[in-house]
Copies of this chain bind each other. A is one copy, B any other.
Protein backbone atom coordinates (compact mmCIF):
# COMPACT_ATOMS: atom_id res chain seq x y z
CA UNK A 1 0.00 0.00 0.00
CA UNK A 2 2.74 2.44 0.95
CA UNK A 3 4.55 1.48 -2.17
CA UNK A 4 1.39 1.96 -4.18
CA UNK A 5 1.06 5.53 -2.99
CA UNK A 6 4.67 6.39 -3.71
CA UNK A 7 4.40 4.80 -7.09
CA UNK A 8 1.25 6.72 -7.96
CA UNK A 9 2.90 10.01 -7.03
CA UNK A 10 5.97 9.22 -9.11
CA UNK A 11 3.89 8.19 -12.10
CA UNK A 12 2.42 11.68 -11.93
CA UNK A 13 5.79 13.44 -11.72
CA UNK A 14 5.12 14.60 -8.17
CA UNK A 15 7.76 14.61 -5.49
CA UNK A 16 6.99 12.15 -2.78
CA UNK A 17 6.30 14.04 0.41
CA UNK A 18 4.80 13.15 3.77
CA UNK A 19 1.60 15.13 3.29
CA UNK A 20 0.95 13.80 -0.17
CA UNK A 21 1.47 10.22 0.97
CA UNK A 22 -0.71 10.59 4.05
CA UNK A 23 -3.55 12.34 2.25
CA UNK A 24 -3.50 9.80 -0.56
CA UNK A 25 -3.57 6.95 1.94
CA UNK A 26 -6.53 8.60 3.64
CA UNK A 27 -8.41 8.62 0.33
CA UNK A 28 -7.57 4.98 -0.26
CA UNK A 29 -8.71 3.93 3.20
CA UNK A 30 -11.97 5.85 3.12
CA UNK A 31 -15.31 4.56 1.90
CA UNK A 32 -16.74 7.70 0.40
CA UNK A 33 -15.62 11.07 -0.81
CA UNK A 34 -13.84 13.51 1.49
CA UNK A 35 -14.32 17.21 2.05
CA UNK A 36 -11.41 19.45 2.89
CA UNK A 37 -12.61 19.57 6.50
CA UNK A 38 -12.60 15.75 6.74
CA UNK A 39 -8.98 15.65 5.72
CA UNK A 40 -8.06 18.41 8.11
CA UNK A 41 -9.66 16.54 11.00
CA UNK A 42 -8.55 13.02 10.12
CA UNK A 43 -4.95 13.99 9.67
CA UNK A 44 -5.00 15.74 13.02
CA UNK A 45 -2.82 18.79 13.34
CA UNK A 46 -0.30 17.04 11.22
CA UNK A 47 -0.39 19.37 8.23
CA UNK A 48 -1.06 23.00 7.70
CA UNK A 49 -4.44 23.85 6.17
CA UNK A 50 -2.70 25.57 3.29
CA UNK A 51 -0.77 22.42 2.49
CA UNK A 52 -4.02 20.48 2.31
CA UNK A 53 -5.56 23.01 -0.06
CA UNK A 54 -2.52 22.92 -2.27
CA UNK A 55 -2.29 19.14 -2.19
CA UNK A 56 -5.93 18.71 -3.20
CA UNK A 57 -5.51 21.22 -5.99
CA UNK A 58 -2.42 19.43 -7.27
CA UNK A 59 -4.15 16.04 -7.14
CA UNK A 60 -7.13 17.39 -9.10
CA UNK A 61 -4.85 18.89 -11.74
CA UNK A 62 -2.96 15.61 -12.10
CA UNK A 63 -6.13 13.57 -12.42
CA UNK A 64 -5.57 11.68 -9.17
CA UNK A 65 -8.79 12.86 -7.55
CA UNK A 66 -11.97 14.48 -8.88
CA UNK A 67 -14.43 16.93 -7.37
CA UNK A 68 -18.09 16.31 -6.64
CA UNK A 69 -20.41 19.33 -6.70
CA UNK A 70 -22.72 19.94 -3.75
CA UNK A 71 -25.36 22.42 -2.67
CA UNK A 72 -23.89 23.00 0.75
CA UNK A 73 -20.70 24.89 0.07
CA UNK A 74 -18.42 21.94 0.66
CA UNK A 75 -16.93 20.37 -2.45
CA UNK A 76 -16.08 16.69 -1.97
CA UNK A 77 -13.12 14.86 -3.45
CA UNK A 78 -12.71 11.23 -4.45
CA UNK A 79 -10.06 9.09 -6.12
CA UNK A 80 -10.16 8.86 -9.89
CA UNK A 81 -9.92 5.63 -11.78
CA UNK A 82 -6.86 4.91 -13.85
CA UNK A 83 -8.21 6.45 -17.03
CA UNK A 84 -7.83 9.98 -15.68
CA UNK A 85 -4.63 11.88 -16.36
CA UNK A 86 -3.25 15.40 -16.23
CA UNK A 87 -5.90 17.77 -17.52
CA UNK A 88 -8.09 14.90 -18.75
CA UNK A 89 -10.67 13.59 -16.36
CA UNK A 90 -12.96 10.75 -17.41
CA UNK A 91 -15.13 10.36 -14.36
CA UNK A 92 -18.45 9.72 -16.03
CA UNK A 93 -20.09 7.99 -13.11
CA UNK A 94 -22.99 9.05 -10.92
CA UNK A 95 -22.50 10.32 -7.37
CA UNK A 96 -24.79 9.61 -4.46
CA UNK A 97 -25.05 11.57 -1.24
CA UNK A 98 -26.81 9.82 1.63
CA UNK A 99 -29.09 12.03 3.73
CA UNK A 100 -28.76 9.51 6.55
CA UNK A 101 -25.07 8.90 7.12
CA UNK A 102 -23.75 11.78 5.04
CA UNK A 103 -21.52 9.54 2.97
CA UNK A 104 -20.86 10.54 -0.62
CA UNK A 105 -20.47 7.54 -2.89
CA UNK A 106 -18.89 7.20 -6.31
CA UNK A 107 -21.24 4.81 -8.09
CA UNK A 108 -18.55 3.64 -10.47
CA UNK A 109 -20.87 1.27 -12.31
CA UNK A 110 -23.65 3.77 -12.89
CA UNK A 111 -22.69 5.86 -15.88
CA UNK A 112 -24.14 9.28 -16.57
CA UNK A 113 -26.62 9.19 -19.45
CA UNK A 114 -26.23 11.34 -22.56
CA UNK A 115 -28.53 14.34 -22.40
CA UNK A 116 -29.75 16.27 -25.43
CA UNK A 117 -29.18 20.01 -25.04
CA UNK A 118 -30.89 22.90 -26.81
CA UNK A 119 -29.41 24.21 -30.10
CA UNK A 120 -26.07 25.92 -29.58
CA UNK A 121 -25.26 24.43 -26.18
CA UNK A 122 -22.13 22.29 -26.10
CA UNK A 123 -21.40 20.03 -23.12
CA UNK A 124 -17.90 19.42 -21.88
CA UNK A 125 -18.77 17.77 -18.57
CA UNK A 126 -21.89 16.32 -17.02
CA UNK A 127 -22.25 15.90 -13.27
CA UNK A 128 -25.04 13.82 -11.80
CA UNK A 129 -25.49 13.97 -8.04
CA UNK A 130 -28.32 11.99 -6.54
CA UNK A 131 -29.31 12.33 -2.91
CA UNK A 132 -31.42 9.99 -0.83
CA UNK A 133 -30.86 6.96 1.40
CA UNK A 134 -27.99 4.57 0.85
CA UNK A 135 -28.16 0.79 1.24
CA UNK A 136 -27.00 1.01 4.86
CA UNK A 137 -29.51 3.70 5.85
CA UNK A 138 -32.51 2.52 3.76
* A residues in contact (CB < 8 Å) with B: 67-75, 94, 96, 99, 107, 109-110, 113, 115-136, 138
Name which residue of chain B comes closest to A123, CB basis.
Answer: B132
Distance, CA A76 to CA B124, complexed state (A): 20
The 8 Å CB contact of A71, one of B118, B123, B127, B134, is: B127
List the 4 closest A-B pairs by CB distance, nearest first.
Answer: A120-B135, A124-B132, A69-B69, A123-B132
Query: Is the pair A133, B122 in contact by a Cβ cutoff of 8 Å?
Result: yes
Query: Is the pair A133, B138 in contact by a Cβ cutoff of 8 Å?
Result: no
- Closest beta carbon of chain B to A115's beta carbon, Å: 6
Extra 9 A-B pairs, beta carbons < 8 Å, given A69-B69, A71-B75, A119-B135: A107-B118, A110-B115, A110-B117, A113-B115, A118-B135, A120-B136, A120-B138, A121-B130, A121-B132
A96 CB contacts on chain B under 8 angstroms: 117, 121
